[in-house]
């Protein structure tokens, strides 16, 4: 269970990370790429922040995440310059791809009837839990 302090620090980090990442995209002239920070979870000792990123288009997600992970120290430095009046110590950042949009798309397809198990009985075997 997250405390209010963890939620507030996560919100501050999330807001500033969005500015940092989207600013880098604009400065480098990269087009057709959208990065959003969907969630930031801070540990109870405030030493590690887990950052969940949504990257569109999905084909560039692995490549973009690898580039972000290699530049984590620079991103942390930029973040520390922005939040130096709000936080004493900036937590270590770990980045992950947020796959919740894919999950939502699968649910939408199932509800639209594209994967309707009533019409297509072969899907029942795939969905059976053992």
> Do residues 15 and 22 make contact, with C-beta atoms less than 8 angstroms apart?
no
> Do residues 81 and 89 make contact, with C-beta atoms less than 8 angstroms apart?
no
Report the half-sphere exposure of 37 (CA within 13 A, side-chain side): 23
The edge-to-edge listing of strands for the beta sheet with 34-42 is 34-42, 48-56, 92-97
When pLDDT is averaged across residues 99-127 and rounded to a whole number, the result is 72
How far is Cα 24 from Cα 29, in angstroms, rounded to an integer? 8
User: pLDDT band for position 116 (50/70/90)?
Assistant: low
When pLDDT is averaged across residues 2-19 and rounded to a whole number, the result is 94
Q: Any idea how long the chain is? A: 130
Cis peptide before 57 (omega within 30 of 0): yes
pTM score, two decimals?
A: 0.78
What does the pLDDT look like over 48-64, one tens digit per residue?
999 999 988 888 889 99
How far is Cα 15 from Cα 17, in angstroms, rounded to an integer? 6
Mean pLDDT of the chain: 87
The predicted pLDDT at position 57 comes to 84
Question: Can you list the positions of beta strands (E) in the chain?
Answer: 34-42, 48-56, 92-97
How far is Cα 2 from Cα 63, in angstroms, rounded to an integer? 31
Query: Distances from the Cα of 4 to the Cαs of 1, 73, 74, 94, 121, in angstroms?
Result: 10, 27, 28, 21, 48
């Amino acid at each position: 269970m997250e405390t209010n302090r963890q939620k507030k620090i996560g919100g501050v980090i999330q807001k500033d990370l969005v500015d940092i990442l989207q600013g880098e995209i604009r400065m480098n002239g990269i087009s057709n790429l959208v990065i959003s920070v969907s969630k930031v979870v801070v540990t109870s000792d405030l030493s590690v922040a887990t950052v969940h990123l949504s990257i569109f288009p999905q084909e560039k997600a692995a490549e973009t995440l690898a580039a972000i992970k290699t530049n984590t120290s620079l991103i942390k430095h930029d973040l520390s310059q922005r939040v130096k009046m709000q936080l004493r110590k900036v937590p270590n950042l770990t980045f992950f791809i947020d796959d919740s949009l894919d999950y939502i798309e699968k649910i939408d397809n199932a509800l639209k009837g594209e994967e309707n198990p009533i019409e297509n009985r072969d899907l029942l075997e795939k969905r059976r839990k053992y």
